[in-house]
């Protein structure tokens, strides 16, 4: 198996239900099939990497410790499906709404490529053999920036994102999936 391939996953609206700002652990709910979806990727030899904007830190809604607690809880729930995430990356910044040290123009906030570039470097990923899966236009843009294949899921903000794409943009997507499980099933059947 080629462990230099990766699937970069958005978090909110892709793996877990979109709730606006996830400020309480009790509001965390994985989307049905998310654990099985990630296990498919694990079993197929893909690195699974979460890349997520968490501007709630910059806005003062929660702190970085809470973001890490959410990721620990998600990892625990995913493990019940024998699934795991190889690496979690998040951007706590916002250029205009942030407070203190978090109010900066950064290169990690999607659609900037900072989180993906860091993962590529740290995990020796080949972006051209990788995918970015998410529910937002930012996810599609970052895939194009790094040379990965974009997949739109229709959970979270996915339906709204789809409605904003031109026919040309839709035709350039290799796959539009109703949810993460469908996206991962399609990826695992994808022929190189």
> The domain 6-189 is classified under which CATH number: 3.40.630.10, 3.40.1350.10, 3.40.50.720, 3.40.50.1000?
3.40.50.1000
In 3D space, the residue among 43, 12, 18, 27 whose CA is nearest the CA of residue 133 turns out to be 12
What are the extents of the domains in the chain?
6-189
Q: In sequence order, what are the residues at sequence separation of 6 or more whose Cβ sits closer than 8 angstroms to the Cβ of residue 33?
A: 179, 180, 181
Say how far residue 75 (Cα) sits from the centre of its chain: 14
pLDDT in tens, 29-73: 999 999 999 999 999 999 999 999 999 999 999 999 999 999 999
Which residues, in sequence order, are bridge partners of residue 104? none
Q: Which two tokens stand for residue 139?
A: 């996810």
Is 0.85 topped by the overall pTM? yes
Phi first, then psi: what are they for 62, rounded to 5°? -160, 170
The C-alpha angle with vertex 58 and arms to 118 and 31, in degrees rounded to 5, equals 70
Would you please indicate which residues are annotated as catalytic (active-site) residues? 10, 12
pLDDT in tens, 103-160: 999 999 999 999 999 999 999 999 999 999 999 999 999 999 999 999 999 999 999 9
pLDDT value for 98: 86
């Amino acid at each position: 198996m080629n462990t230099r391939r990766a699937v970069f996953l958005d978090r909110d609206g892709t793996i877990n239900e979109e709730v606006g700002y996830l400020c309480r652990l009790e509001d965390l709910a994985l989307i049905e099939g998310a654990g099985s979806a990630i296990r498919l990727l694990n079993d197929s030899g893909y690195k699974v990497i979460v890349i997520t904007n968490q501007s709630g830190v910059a806005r003062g809604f929660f702190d970085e410790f809470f973001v890490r607690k959410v990721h620990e809880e998600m990892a625990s729930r995913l493990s019940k499906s024998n699934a795991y995430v190889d690496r979690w990356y998040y951007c706590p910044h916002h250029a205009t709404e942030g407070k203190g040290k978090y109010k900066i123009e950064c290169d990690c906030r999607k659609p900037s490529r900072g989180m993906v570039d860091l993962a590529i470097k740290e995990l020796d990923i080949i972006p051209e053999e990788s995918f970015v899966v998410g529910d937002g236009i930012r996810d599609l843009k970052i895939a194009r920036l790094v040379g990965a294949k974009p997949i739109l899921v229709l959970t979270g903000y996915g339906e709204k994102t789809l409605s904003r794409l031109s026919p040309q943009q839709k035709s350039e997507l290799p796959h539009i999936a109703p949810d993460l499980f469908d996206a991962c099933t399609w990826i695992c059947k994808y022929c190189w």
